[in-house]
Amino acid sequence: MKKPPPLGRITILAAIALAIAAATLSAWLAASETGRRGLQTTLDDELQVLARSVESEIERFRYLPAVVGRDGRIVAALTGGTGAAAGANRYLAEVRDDTRADELYVMTPDGLTVAASNHDEETSFVGRNYRFRPYFQDALAKGEGRYYAVGVTTRKPGYFLSSAVRQNGSVIGVAVVKVDMAGIEAAWRNSSIFAVLADSDGVVFLTGHAPWKYRPLHALSDTALDDIARTRKYDGVDLATATPIFGDGTGLPADTAIGADAQSHILRSIAIPADGWRLIGARSLAPIQTSALLVAGMAALAGMLACSIGFYLRQRRQLVRAKLNEHDRLERRVEERTAELHREVEDRRRAEEELRATQATLIQTAKLAALGRMSAAIVHEVSQPLSALENTLATAGVLAERGEAGAAGGKMQAAREMARRIQRTVKLLRSFARKEPGAREPVSVERSIAEAVELARHRADQDGVGIVIEPVPALTVMANAVRLEQVVLNLLVNALDAVSGTEDPAIQISAAERDGMVEIRVHDNGPGIPAELRERIAEPFFTTKQTGEGLGLGLSISRAIVGEFGGALTFESEEGQGSTFVVSLPAAAAVREAAE
């Protein structure tokens, strides 16, 4: 089963996810806010431009009514000269064509139209009374007036600019220019910006969006409705029943060109003070929402990227730390192992020292043991010349008594010879029993063999064993004479032991040089060494002999001694065929050559 991740890790991951979500949200909010503010500024600028274009469209005709009112033909038409109206009509039609005004007309102070540019059309204003229009009343009262309204005759909306016509300081009529604003409306309809123009009562009269036309922004008061009805401003439109655009008071249009969703559009308005109008514009928020989402997405991606980099670096750090730990661990192990090795080396050195010490003791013990075993031979070696000495001295004494001085002297000489022989034997035994290993020196192989055989001779004779020494060439080895004798004697004693039950016992000793090594071979025709014992015979204290007869040290000590001199002790044996023990030692000549 998979182990659940530790709580700390989950908390960290949750915190990171939360941080990314927070960063994304803030990026989205900031981008939305910035976009919204940018869009607002753009929309404000656009509304300024639109307002200017509306104003300049009106401004173009601002002085036209006053200029027209000064014309003689107009004055004549107003002062009632017969036939004067025809001239005024023509004049007004000409001015209309030249200025591209919608219509021009002149009214008497009673509001009756006496001349008009459309005098010859079906919807001619001539003969009609527009006394109820505020622009007429304003012109009479203040000298000029301006007013937007739907034409009661033509049903065409337009902006009316009026000016009082004076003669000799008194008002004799009112000249009016009607400006068509359909061009502006058409331009708005085709523009990307959503724009509406509302009058001072809040009634939309100019818009590219037809469903909003002639609808109030908010519910109209009774006074306002009365006013509109009296001035027949929107003649033919039932404003009392029209649904207000911002009817529910939320400040948002319910039906919609700009969408019911409060977040989908931004609404701005500016005032056109000259007429108390308000120009309202709207723009979709969709593009900035898209870019805000894009920014938020990028923030999220950046956050995730940062986290990934963070995770990657953390992972790497952990990996490096793990490697360093592993490295440290290995180094510690190497140090431990080195210390262990040092300890082992030290242990071995100590063991070797102990072994050497033990060996020295053993060699000594073995020597004493060998002496013990040789005691018979020794006793014979010493007692035989001693009794001979005694006899000789006794004979010398008798001869001396007889006065045979010459013969006595001869016996004395023989006695001295015997005493010397005893001396020599004792000296040999003393040196054999000496404890020191003895210095390495060139040793005559022939002499060593002869001395050893000499020591074993008595027992060999006793046992009836013939020891044959094959002719030995003049060989010298680097060793110690006493030690070498001891080794050869050990081998001889073992051989004597081995042949003790043999029918025709025989021992052969030979020596030869081969490849800088001298080999001394001791062969017997004993029973040989059983295969299963061959590995063990050179072990210390291994013996097949009866208790007291053998210590089991002979071979191990011999091997140690030969090893000390840089040689080796080996054997060849076949059951029933006897055994051959081989002592190999470096030839003295070879050692000298190597040293040179």
List residues near ligand ADP by CB under 6 A. 494-495, 498, 524, 526, 529, 537, 542-545, 550-556, 579
**Minimal distance in Å, beta carbon 551 to ligand ADP?**
5
Identity (one letter) of the amino acid at 369? A
Tokens, residue 516:
């800088």
Closest CA to 265 of 36, 45, 44, 42: 36
| DSSP string computed for 3-26 | PPPPHHHHHHHHHHHHHHHHHHHH
Rounded-to-integer distance, Cα 72 and Cα 81, Å: 11
For residue 470, what are the contacts with CB-CB under 8 A and spacing of at least 6? Answer: 508, 509, 510, 511
Q: State the amino acid at position 88 in one-letter form.
A: A
Closer to ligand ADP at the Cβ: 369 or 450?
369
What 8-state DSSP symbol labels residue 592?
Answer: H
CA dihedral 559, 560, 561, 566 (to 10 degrees): 90
- Grouping H, G, I as helix, E, B as strand and the rest as coil, residue 73 is helix
Q: Is residue 574 helix, strand or coil? A: strand
Print burial letters for 37-65: b (CB count within 10 Å at least 16), e (below 16).
Answer: eebeeebeebbeebbeebbeebeebeebb
- Alpha carbon distance 330, 305 (integer Å): 37
Residue 497 C-beta: closest distance to ligand ADP, Å: 6
> CB-wise, 292 or 449, nearer to ligand ADP?
449
Q: Between 413 and 544, whose beta carbon lies closer to ligand ADP?
A: 544
- How far is Cα 41 from Cα 32, in angstroms, rounded to an integer? 14
150 and 234 Cβ atoms separated by less than 8 Å? yes
Q: What is the rounded CA–CA span in Å between residue 278 and residue 196?
A: 8
Q: Which residues contact 480 (CB under 8 A, 6 or more apart)?
A: 437, 438, 439, 440, 441, 443, 565
Least CB distance to ligand ADP at residue 524 (A): 5
Closer residue to ligand ADP in complex, CB, 423/544:
544
Burial of 353 from C-beta contacts in 10 A (0-12 / 13-18 / 19+) = exposed
CA distance 411 to 406: 9
DSSP three-state, residue 197: strand
- Helix and strand counts by DSSP (H, E) for the chain: 14, 16
Rg of the chain over Cα atoms, rounded to whole angstroms, equals 74
Beta bridge partners of 175: 106, 163
Helix (H), strand (E) at residue 554: helix 554-564
Look at residues 441, 397, 393, 382 and name the one whose alpha carbon lies nearest to residue 588. Answer: 441
Can you state the angle between helices 481-498 and 445-463, rounded to 10 degrees? 30
- Which residue do the tokens 């979500």 mark? 21
Q: Shortest gap between Cβ of 575 and ligand ADP (angstroms)? A: 10
Q: Which helix (H) or strand (E) holds 370?
A: helix 286-373
Q: Which is nearer to ligand ADP, 356 or 545 (CB)?
A: 545
